[in-house]
Each structure stands twice: as C-alpha cells, then as structure tokens.
C-alpha cells in the first residue's frame, strides 16, 4: 500500500507541471499489482505483476529491445484516487482487478481501450484488451500464412481479420515450412519472427501497444477481449502509445526502440547473390556479364563457400570451417588484393556468417578455443560445459551473444581482422532464429526462453558495437543483412530478409504482406530472395498457385515480375537462389538456378526496371535520412498514410515510397491488367503523366501491366500532385548508386521532377559521402556530415515558381557546383516561357542540346518542360519560373488519324469529338447513365466508315470491333486513345 498511498498523496496538488517522471502509479489488488510509469503525455509504461504486490521497487525493467530510457516526463500530470490525467490521456485503474481504462483527450475524449492483467493457465500470463470498435491491427511480426489453393498467396490482409498472430512453436522466433491450408508442404522454409508491437485502428481513434517481452508471445484477436499471452512471464510489461494518427504513433515507437542509422548508400543498389559463388572466377563471370549488358551493380554477397564450407564438404575433410570467418584461399586466393580490386571497380562484398563455431575448423579450432576461453558459448544449464551441436555444420558450439565481453572478443579478434580490415562492405547473419538450438541450454542472460528471441538482435548489436568501438580506426558505417531479429534490430544498421522463400509468386505475395507488418514494426529495409530460394515442386506437384487461369508456371515470367516489384520495394535489391548450393544435394534439392537479371527472364525488362530504381536513388537516400532523423518509413503500407480510408485496410499489394509515390505490385503470372486504387487527392501516372482527381478515392480498372512498347512488365506507379522527386542520370555507362561510369565520364547533374499542384510543396534533398559515420554520441547514435538542399514549388498566375535553395552543410567529396535539370508537367498543347532568377532562358533544339556539357536553357518534350540552369554553385539560389499560354488551335501534335470521336449511348450514338492532347494521344471526358448496357465506339470520320471497337475487352481496339462496355455505372469518364499502339483507357473520374 505504500506506493498507492504515495499516489493518493499527490492529490494535494490537483494539477502539476512536471520536468521529470513522476512517481509510478501503483495499485495492489489481492496478491498482484498494476504499476504505471508516466513517461510522457502520450506514453505510459505498464507492468502487470501477476503474482507479487509491489511494496518496494516500482521501477519497470526493460528488455534489450528498448532504446530510450531517459524520458523527461509529462508536461501535465494530475493523479487522483482512481487514476490520473496527462495532457493527452485520462487513465483510470480499477482497484479490484488492476484493469486500466484509457480515454484519449485529443481524440474527443473517446475511450480507446481497457487493458486488464490476465492469468490464462500455469504457463501463460499476459493481458486482455477490450476491442472497442477497432477495425484493423498491424505490426506484430513476420509469418507466412497457409496457402489456399483457390486464392494463391494472400498479399492483402491485417491481423484482426486473420484472428491474430503467433509463431508455430513454443519458443517464438523459429524457422519453419510454408504449408497449404491442409498442412501439405508448399515448397519453402521461412522464419517466423516476433515483433510484438500492435497498432490498433478504429474510426477516429487509434493507439499502439508494445509488449516488451523476450519470451514467446501470442496475440489472439478473434474475440471481443483480445488475448495477449506471454509465456512463463512473472510480469507483463507494456508500453501504451497515444497519437493523432499512425505516423504519429510510429514516430513515438521509433523514438522508444531506436531509429535506423543512415544505411550505406550502396545498400540501395543491386547486389547479386546465389548459394553459392564457389570461387572468384564464378563471381567475376557474373559481374562481367552484367557489365557487358549495361546493368548497374553495387556488389555481391558471398555465401558459405567463401570460408570453405563447400570445399571442405566436397573433399570429405575432417576440418569443418564453420565459424572460421576466413577466406578459403584454394577457391578465393589473395582475398585482400581481390577485395581491393573489386572495390576499385565500385563493387562491394558482403560475407555470410553464422553463430556456430566448429571444433574442427581449418585452424585447429583456434576460434572455438578462443571463444570457449571467454565463456562465449551456450552451456548445458547448471554446468560450465559448452552445449554441443552436431548438425549439417558439424560439431560446433553456438555463440552466446548475450555475453558482451565474448561478443566483443569475437568481433575484434575474428570478424574484424578477417573481414572488415580487408575492406568488406557488410555482414550477412544467417540462421539467426536460431535455426538450431537446445532448449536446455543456458546463456549469460538466462535460459533459452530468455535468449531465443533476442539472439539475432544481440548478434547485430555485437557487430554494431564493434564498429562504434573501432570508429577512430575505421569510420565505415556498420551494415548487416539478417534473417532474424526483433524490435530494435533496425537501430544496429540491420536490413532483414524473409528467408528461404519459394520461387513462386504466391510466396512473394505473402512476403509483401509481411513487409507491411514489418514496416509498422520499425523495419525500413526489408527484402526477399528475388526469384525465390527454392524453385522446385512442392508436395502437391505445384511450382506456384498465383497464375492466371489458362496459363502455366514460367520461371522466366515469375522472376521478371518479382524483379520488377523488388526494383521498387526491396532494400537491398538482391536476387538470390539455391543454385544446387548444398554439397551432396541431389534430385529436387539440386536445382540449377540463375539469379542474375542479365541471365534469366525478360532481360530487357529487367534492365529497364533496374535503371528506373537507380534513377530514383537520390529520392530513396533522402528518405533514408528522414527515417534516421524523424522515424518516417522509407516504404510505407497504404493504410499508414490513409488509415481513414477503409478500402485500404490491410491492403499490401499497393505501397507508398515515401509520402509521394504509390506503386501497385504485380501479383500473378501472365496477368495482363490489374485494378489500382487511388485514395483521396490528385495523382499523376508516373509513366504516362495522365492526371486523376478524386474526392473519395477511385479505382482505376484494368491498368496494363505488360507494356509492349517498352518490352517489360511495368509496375503501375502514381505520384501525388505537388511531389518533388530528386533523381540521378542513368544510362548504359552507369555502374553504381554513386553514378560512377564505365567510360570514366561524369554526369553529376541534379535532376528534379516536379508534379503540378494548386498548393505549394517542398522536399529536402539529403546528401553525404554515403560511406562513413562522422561520430557517435554517448548512446552510440551515429552522426553524419550532411548537406541539405530545400526544393520548393509554388503556384503562380499561369504557371509555377520552382526554387532550388542554397545548400547547407558539407562533407568530404561534396560537389561545389553542378548543373540542375528541372522537369515540370504542363498541358501538352500549351506554349511556355521560362526564366531563371528573373532572366529569360533560351529554348534549345532538343535533348542532345540540353544535355551538352554546361548547357543552360530549356526544351519541351510533349507535356514536359525540361530546364537546365547551367553549372551553378550549390550555394546559389536557383529560382525558375515557368508560365504557360494555352494553345487555341492546331497545336501540331503527331497522330495516325485525322480526327476521332466517341459515339455511344451517352450521346445517342452521335459524335463527341476527341482532342489530340499529345503525340498520338486523343482524349475526351463524357458522361454515361445508369443503364446496364452503356456502350461506345471510336469513329474517325463521323460516318462509321472507319470505326474502332474492342473484340477482347482487353484495352486494345480493332477496326470494326465490338461495342465497348462501360463497367462502373453512372458517372463521368475520361477516355484516352493512343493511336500509335491501338490501345485505350477508360477512367471513371
């Protein structure tokens, strides 16, 4: 009662302004307690102590997942007999059962949740949460649902609809098979990972709950009272976060668990990989082919062959090199020179490592003995004996990463001299669930239940801490790619990938649903084995279920569709596969797999989609800086920015790149079109520049996915009005994300694409050296030397003013001057005048003239005005004004038809003339009624002697073809015809 009396005593001062955290609010009931720390006005820390009154210590402990532990307390705090108020929350605590009821003062004083302590049985404690009208739940972790043969991979869906989240065994993080709904094996094995943060979304209400527990957990959301189960936990500790919307909640969560460092810039590029490059010659051949076919490339990942695992196995060697972390110089001779040579050619290397260390290593077990001497392995509980593992990686010990001293010894004496000091770019931590474990092992932080779910988190931390410790010697940014982890992994420079996924689009679709959940959980850099690790038949004889009816599985089609998606959504962009990688593999486990986009699938399309990614590197990299500074997601789920639009609830087959670019995934083999949903606002098609305005959201039907004129599968992409997109110059000479070029030439210009809006907008371009950390603070948070450039667009009378502000900040190697190209969209039939800093700019002849060295002037390309400022100091302000004059007659566009009209039920089959708005592009807006048989055709001369319809209802028109049906009911439609490709679109507006 002592703490409760203290809370009651605070009533003597009814409203308090706090500069520090107030005394915890404690309620004892029976033999249990509820303890609440008030960390901020919108953040409380809850502990349900299931079996003990809190008489003494009331501080709530944190796990390794939590970063921030120095909150300054609420601005306002008013405790009372039944609870307390902050500036944003009204919290009451039931003295009979410890239940907490929370009202959101900034959300119309609406009750968001009642959270009660719960004891489910002798094994499971936890909390019970009353669902008060929430319609969607996000976060919680990575899993791969059972595949429904009739539905393929379930790309869309959130956890409330699914009934909850759990991992399939009793330890939490695990590695398990993907199955069909009847339990049959579906062709792959992937990690199931706990990231126990829950975002609950209702109508005009939302909140987040973070279960700060390293134990196995289970979220049953199928009942009115949600069950949060926490295995073998004496207490259940939760953070409750309040916020105006999902971006506010995630920002608070990222502050709590740590924002990601700025990743090395090369991590945004393409990295080739397979299981496994067996020697330097095989890797060199892969790089040579990519370069010959003009693919940009930033690096390669080396699987287990690099340290001799395959070589030792194939030669029946008694020495198993698992854990040696040293190049096998029979296959990879003179590694120091080779790594330096590759680096000089702008190619980085990332090497794989595992947590298992063989007793029979190539160095007579030196690494094993060193770690054993530092007490660095999992032990048989109650003894000092290292637990012995005997799996495919030989007789080994498993490193105990919770032993900080041993982890530091491993980094400084094994990883650093053998990998980092050679110039290797990063680290690939594999098998980190952990894949193999012993439930009766003990570790520095407790038994296996204490350790399992933080194993890869602590492993990642050991790498990061090593770079911090050795920063004065080497300022290289720490970077690793992990197969496992949990909340907080991101703050150690970690990208996660979804494991040994199947070479099938149904598996890819589930990956992109997992990507939605992982973004909410704080993971900004998430990727897949593009093309799939396992490309083999499953137990049902299938290789895929996400296939258009009437077609069949094609490895080429599957790969190129996946690659097209990943070129937008995966960081890093990493093709990978099991190229008969396991020594001794035979039959269905020995599949010869191509992974390079220069060797499989639609190579022309692969190249086009990859170059598109590289063009946008300045945009992605600026988003990476915003993730570091503000906790904003780099790639966000649609519900994140549009939570009030329930059409987007659980929608994972569309995503946002930053706040401005919307992409819609390619989900099905040989599917020609898909529908795309645009939420409220004005949008432009990124590829065709067509504009769409919508007040309440709009579905664009039958958007083409295969673009014959480009010979590629093209991901439908849309950009918000007002978007400012910085870009880099990319062509056949481009080598990497830094714009290094094969011929040694330079293209340092900044390219900025600006999409019109009737409202002002801005974007900040962030630039740095892309490779180093300038310093770390006392909390090991990195700091960088950064240049920031603000870019604005402001509507003016009959045009726009676009300003590239003076750059602020500097870094080694920063350009002091450069040319700037601004691309702005106008009506294609308008004329334009352009000024720079008040002086008229010259209209140039063509793009060749525009791209000449130091060029200054502008050109009009269809509906795009492209302006170059000439080479200018980055410290100079560049103000461009574009004014337009509407073309009145005969605007001079090319076309294959002398005229076109729409004739249909809308005008009783008379003619409504179409307008030629760009080369070969005709457009008209017409209204149709509510009849079920609204139809139209295109007519050239107004007398039907030359008319076009559509025989296949596929968006392609034929001479004298069938009437075209209107499918979306009464309303106004924008009809666009492209007379150079015999295609058309019909969009309800």
Same domain, 798 and 867: yes
CB 422 within 8 A of CB 335: yes
At 589-599, the pLDDT tens digits run 666 789 999 99
Residue 455 located in a structural domain: yes
Same domain, 847 and 931: no
Residue 691 located in a structural domain: no
pLDDT tier at 1 (50, 70, 90 boundaries)?
A: very low
3-state secondary structure of 339: helix
The single residue listed with the structure tokens 């499918």 is 967
Residue 698 located in a structural domain: no
Dihedral angle at the C-alpha atoms of 622, 627, 631, 634, nearest 10 degrees?
Answer: 90
Strands 89-93, 100-104: parallel, antiparallel or unpaired by DSSP?
Answer: antiparallel
Question: What pLDDT does 939 receive?
Answer: 96
Question: What pLDDT does 862 receive?
Answer: 83
| Distance in angstroms (rounded) separating the CA atoms of residues 908 and 903 | 8
Residue 658 located in a structural domain: no
Same domain, 420 and 508: yes
pLDDT tier at 9 (50, 70, 90 boundaries)?
A: very low
| Distance in angstroms (rounded) separating the CA atoms of residues 889 and 296 | 45
Query: Which residues sit opposite 800 in a β-bridge?
Result: 795, 882
Say whether the peptide bond before residue 276 is cis (omega within 30 degrees of 0).
yes
Same domain, 349 and 216: no
Question: What pLDDT does 315 receive?
Answer: 58
Q: Is the pLDDT of residue 962 over 90?
A: yes
| Distance in angstroms (rounded) separating the CA atoms of residues 138 and 685 | 29
Buried b / exposed e along 918-957 (16+ C-beta atoms within 10 A)? bbebbbbebebeeeeebbbbbbbeeeeeebbbbeeeebbb
Same domain, 738 and 629: no
Question: What pLDDT does 827 receive?
Answer: 85
Radius of gyration of the chain (CA): 30
Mean pLDDT of 930-943: 92
pLDDT tier at 362 (50, 70, 90 boundaries)?
A: low
CB 373 within 8 A of CB 384: no
Strand order through the sheet with 681-685 = 635-637, 654-657, 661-664, 717-720, 681-685, 691-694
Domain final residue, candidates 257, 274, 303:
257
Report the half-sphere exposure of 847 (CA within 13 A, side-chain side): 7
| Distance in angstroms (rounded) separating the CA atoms of residues 77 and 330 | 68
Mean pLDDT of 298-327: 84
Mean pLDDT of 664-693: 96
CB 283 within 8 A of CB 274: no
The stretches of 770-871 forming alpha helices (DSSP H) are 847-850
CATH number at residue 919: 2.60.40
Residue 189 located in a structural domain: yes
Query: Which residues sit opposite 683 in a β-bridge?
Result: 692, 720
Report the half-sphere exposure of 838 (CA within 13 A, side-chain side): 1
| Distance in angstroms (rounded) separating the CA atoms of residues 429 and 484 | 8
At 791-845, the pLDDT tens digits run 999 999 999 999 999 999 999 999 999 999 999 999 877 889 999 999 999 999 8
Same domain, 284 and 237: no
pLDDT tier at 96 (50, 70, 90 boundaries)?
A: very high
Strands 831-836, 878-885: parallel, antiparallel or unpaired by DSSP?
Answer: antiparallel
Mean pLDDT of 471-489: 98
Mean pLDDT of 314-331: 82
Question: What pLDDT does 771 receive?
Answer: 98
| Distance in angstroms (rounded) separating the CA atoms of residues 639 and 516 | 9
CATH number at residue 326: 3.20.20.80
Report the run of H or E that residue 560 belongs to, with start and end: helix 555-569
pLDDT tier at 891 (50, 70, 90 boundaries)?
A: low
Same domain, 217 and 330: no
Domain final residue, candidates 884, 911, 927:
884
Say whether the peptide bond before residue 926 is cis (omega within 30 degrees of 0).
no
Range of the domain at 212: 25-257
Residue 709 located in a structural domain: no
Same domain, 424 and 440: yes
The number of distinct structural domains making up the chain is 4
pLDDT tier at 12 (50, 70, 90 boundaries)?
A: very low
Q: Is the pLDDT of residue 283 over 80?
A: yes
Residue ranges of E strands in 760-877: 761-767, 775-776, 782-783, 787-796, 799-804, 817-818, 820-825, 831-836, 839-840, 856-861, 864-869, 872-873
At 17-61, the pLDDT tens digits run 555 899 999 999 999 999 999 999 999 999 999 988 887 678 999
Residue 138 located in a structural domain: yes
| Proportion of the chain above pLDDT 70, given as a percent | 95
pLDDT tier at 582 (50, 70, 90 boundaries)?
A: low
Same domain, 572 and 612: yes
Domain final residue, candidates 615, 648, 681:
648
Closest by CA to 847, choosing from 731, 711, 738, is: 731
Mean pLDDT of 697-704: 96
pLDDT tier at 782 (50, 70, 90 boundaries)?
A: very high
| Distance in angstroms (rounded) separating the CA atoms of residues 957 and 978 | 10
Lowest mean per-residue pLDDT among 117-126, 391-400, 513-522 = 391-400
Residue 666 located in a structural domain: no
CATH number at residue 215: 2.60.40.1760
Report the half-sphere exposure of 22 (CA within 13 A, side-chain side): 31
Question: What pLDDT does 345 receive?
Answer: 98
Same domain, 641 and 769: no
CATH number at residue 846: 2.60.40.1180
The single residue listed with the structure tokens 């926490």 is 230
Angle at the Cα of 654 from the Cα atoms of 653 and 660, rounded to 5 degrees: 165
DSSP assigned state of 412: I
3-state secondary structure of 472: coil
Same domain, 979 and 830: no
Same domain, 166 and 246: yes
Which CA distances in Å does 890 have to 21, 296, 893, 939? 72, 43, 8, 20
| Distance in angstroms (rounded) separating the CA atoms of residues 68 and 45 | 12
Lowest mean per-residue pLDDT among 146-150, 308-312, 857-861 = 308-312
């Amino acid at each position: 009662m002592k703490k409760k009396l203290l809370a009651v005593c605070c009533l003597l001062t009814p409203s308090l302004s706090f500069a520090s955290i107030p005394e915890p609010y404690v309620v004892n009931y029976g033999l249990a307690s509820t303890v609440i720390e008030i960390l901020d006005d919108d953040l409380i820390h809850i502990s349900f102590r299931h079996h003990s009154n809190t008489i003494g210590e009331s501080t709530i402990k944190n796990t390794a997942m939590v970063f921030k532990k120095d909150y300054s307390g609420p601005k306002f705090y008013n405790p009372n007999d039944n609870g307390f108020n902050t500036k944003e929350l009204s919290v009451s605590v039931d003295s009979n059962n410890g239940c907490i009821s929370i009202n959101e003062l900034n959300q119309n004083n609406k009750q968001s949740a009642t959270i009660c302590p719960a004891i489910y049985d002798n094994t499971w404690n936890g909390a019970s949460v009353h669902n008060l009208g929430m319609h969607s739940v996000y976060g919680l972790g990575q899993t791969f649902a059972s595949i429904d043969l009739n539905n393929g991979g379930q790309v869309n869906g959130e956890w409330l609809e699914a009934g909850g989240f759990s991992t399939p065994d009793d330890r939490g993080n695990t590695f398990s098979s993907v199955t069909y709904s009847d339990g049959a094996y579906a062709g792959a094995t992937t990690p199931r990972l706990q990231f126990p943060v829950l975002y609950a979304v209702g109508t005009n209400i939302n909140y987040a709950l973070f279960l700060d527990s390293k134990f196995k957990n289970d979220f049953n959301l199928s009942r009115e009272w949600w069950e949060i189960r926490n295995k073998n936990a004496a207490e259940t500790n939760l953070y409750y976060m309040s916020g105006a919307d999902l971006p506010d909640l995630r920002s608070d969560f990222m502050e709590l668990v740590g924002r990601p460092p700025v990743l090395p810039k090369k991590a945004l590029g393409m990295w080739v990989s397979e299981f496994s490059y067996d020697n330097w010659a095989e890797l060199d051949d892969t790089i040579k082919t990519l370069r010959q076919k003009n693919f940009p490339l930033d690096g390669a990942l080396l699987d287990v062959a690099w340290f001799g695992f395959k070589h030792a196995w194939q030669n029946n060697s008694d020495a198993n090199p698992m854990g040696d972390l040293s190049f096998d110089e029979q296959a990879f001779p003179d590694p120091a020179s080779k790594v330096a040579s590759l680096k000089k050619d702008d190619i980085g290397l990332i090497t794989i490592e595992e947590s298992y260390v063989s007793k029979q290593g190539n160095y007579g077990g030196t690494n094993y003995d060193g770690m054993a001497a530092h007490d660095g392995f999992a032990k048989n509980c109650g003894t000092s004996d290292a637990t012995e593992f005997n799996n495919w990686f030989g007789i080994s010990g498993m490193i105990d990463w919770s032993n900080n001293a041993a982890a530091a010894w491993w980094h400084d004496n094994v990883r650093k001299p053998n990998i980092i000091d050679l110039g290797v770019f990063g680290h690939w931590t594999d098998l980190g669930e952990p894949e193999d474990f012993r439930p009766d092992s003990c570790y520095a932080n407790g038994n296996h239940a204490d350790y399992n779910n933080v194993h890869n988190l602590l492993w990642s931390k050991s790498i990061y801490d090593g770079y911090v410790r050795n920063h004065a010697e080497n300022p290289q940014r720490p970077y690793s790619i992990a197969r496992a982890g949990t909340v907080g992994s991101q703050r150690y420079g970690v990208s996660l990938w979804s494991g040994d996924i199947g070479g099938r689009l149904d598996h890819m679709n589930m990956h992109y649903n997992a990507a939605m959940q992982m973004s909410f959980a704080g993971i900004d850099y998430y990727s897949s084995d593009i093309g799939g690790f396992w490309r083999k038949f499953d137990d049902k004889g299938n290789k895929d279920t996400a296939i258009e009816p009437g077609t069949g599985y094609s490895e080429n089609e599957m790969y190129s569709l996946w690659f097209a998606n990943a070129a937008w959504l995966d960081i890093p962009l990493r093709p990978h596969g099991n190229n008969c990688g396991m020594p001794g593999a035979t039959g269905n486990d020995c599949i010869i797999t191509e992974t390079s986009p220069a060797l499989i699938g639609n190579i022309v399309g692969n190249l086009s989609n990859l170059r598109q990614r590289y063009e946008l590197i300045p945009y992605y990299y600026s988003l990476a800086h915003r993730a570091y500074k503000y906790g904003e997601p780099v790639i966000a789920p649609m519900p994140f920015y549009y939570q009030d639009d329930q059409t987007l609830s659980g929608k994972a087959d569309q995503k946002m790149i930053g706040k401005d670019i919307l992409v819609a995934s390619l989900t099905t083999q040989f599917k020609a079109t898909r529908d795309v949903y645009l939420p409220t606002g004005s949008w432009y098609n990124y590829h065709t520049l067509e504009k769409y305005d919508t007040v309440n959201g709009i579905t664009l039907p039958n958007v083409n996915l295969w673009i014959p004129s480009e010979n590629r599968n093209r991901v439908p992409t849309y950009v918000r009005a007002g978007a400012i997109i910085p870009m880099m110059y990319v062509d056949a000479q481009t080598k990497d994300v830094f714009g290094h070029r094969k011929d040694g030439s330079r293209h340092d210009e900044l390219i900025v694409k600006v999409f019109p809006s009737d409202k002002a907008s801005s974007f900040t371009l962030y630039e740095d050296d892309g490779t180093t950390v300038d310093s770390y603070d006392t909390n090991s948070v990195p700091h960088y030397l950064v240049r920031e450039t603000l870019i604005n667009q402001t509507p003016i009378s009959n045009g726009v003013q676009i300003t590239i502000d003076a750059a602020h900040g500097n870094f080694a190697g920063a350009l002091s001057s450069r040319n700037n190209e601004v691309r702005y969209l106008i009506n294609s039939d308008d004329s334009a005048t352009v000024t720079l800093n008040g002086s008229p700019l010259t209209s140039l002849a063509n793009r060749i003239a525009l791209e000449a060295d130091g060029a200054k002037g502008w050109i009009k390309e269809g509906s795009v005005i492209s302006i170059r400022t000439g080479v200018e100091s980055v410290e100079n302000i560049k103000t461009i004004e574009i004014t337009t004059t509407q073309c009145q007659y005969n605007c001079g566009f090319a076309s294959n038809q002398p005229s076109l009209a729409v004739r249909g039920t809308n005008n009783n089959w008379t003619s409504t003339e179409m307008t030629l708005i760009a080369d070969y592009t005709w457009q008209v807006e017409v209204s149709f009624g509510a009849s079920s048989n609204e139809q139209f055709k295109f007519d050239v001369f107004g007398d039907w002697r030359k008319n076009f319809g559509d025989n296949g209802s596929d968006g392609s028109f034929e001479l004298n073809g069938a009437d075209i049906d209107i499918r979306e009911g009464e309303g106004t439609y924008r009809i666009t015809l492209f007379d150079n490709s015999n295609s058309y679109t019909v969009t309800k507006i």
